[in-house]
């Protein structure tokens, strides 16, 4: 079962004691969730208007490229747009500060990817099974191959009405892999180049990305698996922050509204124990290199 371990950190940029740092990296790499119940991301008074589902229009999420400031998916006027960008870039910076203090070992390897704002209520949303994050899955995205790099995500529940964000957590990555790998065939020869040529992928979809995407899809598509696999529920309170490797941790978000999320990529070699990476686990189980 996935562990949720709590750290008392109450500020985004404050040194974390050595014992907590050692615990943190171990929990993350073993596929646990690191929870900061006292770490609240402050929404400024002028930003309160942004806490409305209309801000994201049809796309449900707004995404920011923190290095260029480009915003996607929002449907607000220019004044609100600037406030939205401010709030999201503040979260991008704060999450970076937090990681520097909690897992300094990752600092040189971390690559900051998209920031997202999620103002839509999850419960009752209609999507295809493949896009349905209320079903247990490990993260893998068709157009963004990581080529083995890890996906580390920082979440903050900024719900102004005190509502929780409700997750489910499933079995370990190794158990997921052992269960589904036998029925997954390898990538079709030449498909990586074809996907790239057609610009379906932003970079080459390696064999690793192929297997991860298949795991993601098979997990979500298997209703019996969804109902029968060992799982636990956890409701993240409003005003808290958490982080986890979502490419490794079987997770589902079943309810909740108003969250901020920051994605990071991390090379496997930046880990304290690279043998815990999905890449290494899949390579061991399949007996071959995947990138
Ligand atoms: C997900 O990564 O599946 C969704 C998590 C969330 O929005 O809480
Ligand atoms: Fe996910």
Rounded distance, CA 43 to CA 173, Å? 35
- Percent of the chain's residues with pLDDT above 90: 91
**Has residue 133 been placed in a domain?**
yes
Map tokens 């795991």 to a residue.
215
**What is the C-alpha separation between 146 and 153, in angstroms, rounded?**
14
Could you tell me if 102 and 34 are in contact, meaning their C-beta atoms sit under 8 angstroms apart?
A: yes
Domain that residue 242 falls in: 4-284
pLDDT in tens, 166-187: 999 999 999 999 999 999 999 9
pLDDT band at 57 (very low <50, low <70, confident <90, very high): confident
Q: Answer whether 169 contacts ligand 1 (Cβ < 6 A).
A: no
137 CA distance to ligand 2 middle (Å): 6
Please report which ligand is nearest the Cα atom of 253: 1
Residue 190 lies in a domain: yes
Q: Which of 265, 252, 31, 250 is nearest to 144 (CA)?
A: 265
In angstroms, the CA 25 to CA 102 distance is 8
Over residues 6-50, the pLDDT tens digits come to 999 999 999 999 999 999 999 999 999 999 999 999 999 999 999
d(Cα 216, Cα 69) in Å, to the nearest integer? 30
pLDDT digits (tens, 9 = 90+) for 189-209: 999 999 999 999 999 999 999
Which distant-in-sequence residues (6+ apart) come within 8 Å of 141 by Cβ? 213
Would residue 270 count as lying in a domain? yes
Which pLDDT belongs to residue 178?
98
Total domains in the fold of the chain: 1
Alpha carbon separation from 280 to 57, 67, 180, 248, 273 (Å, rounded): 40, 30, 16, 12, 10
SS3 call for 36: strand
Which pLDDT band, with edges at 50, 70 and 90, does 93 fall under?
Answer: very high
- Ligand at shortest distance from the CA of 140: 2
Nearest residue (CA) to ligand 1, atom 3 = 133
Asked whether residue 289 is assigned to any structural domain, the reply reads no
**pLDDT of res. 126:** 85
For residue 233, pLDDT over 70 is answered with yes
Mean pLDDT over the full length of the chain:
96
Q: Are 7 and 35 spatial neighbours (Cβ–Cβ below 8 Å)?
A: yes
Residue 290: inside a domain, yes or no?
no
| CATH classification of the domain holding 16 | 2.60.120
Nearest ligand to the CA atom of 134: 1
Asked if the structure places residue 217 within a domain, the reply is yes
The DSSP output letter for 120 is S
Q: Does ligand 1 have an atom closer than 6 angstroms to the CB of 133?
A: yes
118 lines ligand 1 (CB under 6 A): yes
pLDDT-derived band of residue 143, with 50, 70 and 90 as boundaries? very high
256 in a structural domain: yes
Report if residue 38 sits inside a domain. yes
């Amino acid at each position: 079962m996935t562990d949720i371990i709590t750290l008392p950190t109450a500020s985004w940029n404050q040194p974390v004691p050595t014992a907590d740092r050692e615990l943190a990296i171990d929990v993350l790499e073993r596929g646990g969730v690191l929870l900061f119940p006292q770490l609240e991301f402050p929404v400024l008074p002028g930003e309160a208007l942004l806490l409305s589902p209309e801000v994201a229009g049809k796309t449900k999420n707004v995404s920011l490229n923190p290095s260029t400031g480009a915003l996607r998916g929002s449907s607000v006027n220019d004044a609100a747009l600037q406030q939205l960008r401010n709030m999201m870039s503040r979260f991008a910076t704060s999450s970076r500060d937090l990681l520097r203090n909690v897992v300094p070992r990752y600092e040189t390897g971390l690559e900051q990817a998209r920031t997202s704002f999620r103002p839509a209520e999850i419960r009752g949303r209609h999507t295809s099974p493949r896009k349905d994050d209320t079903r247990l899955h490990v993260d893998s995205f068709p157009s963004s191959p990581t080529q083995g790099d890890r996906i580390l995500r920082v979440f903050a529940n900024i719900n102004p009405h005190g509502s929780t964000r409700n997750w489910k957590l499933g079995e370990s990555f190794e158990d997921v892999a052992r269960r589904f790998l036998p029925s997954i065939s390898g990538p079709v020869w030449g498909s990586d180049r074809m996907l790239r040529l057609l610009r379906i992928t932003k970079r080459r979809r390696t064999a690793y990305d192929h297997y991860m995407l298949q795991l993601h899809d098979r997990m979500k598509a298997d209703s019996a698996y969804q109902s029968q696999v060992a799982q636990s529920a956890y409701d993240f309170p409003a005003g808290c922050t958490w982080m986890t490797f979502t490419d490794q941790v079987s997770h589902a978000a079943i309810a909740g509204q108003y969250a901020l999320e920051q994605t990071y990529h991390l090379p496997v070699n930046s880990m304290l124990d690279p043998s815990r990476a999905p890449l290494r686990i899949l390579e061991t189980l399949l007996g071959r290199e995947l990138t």
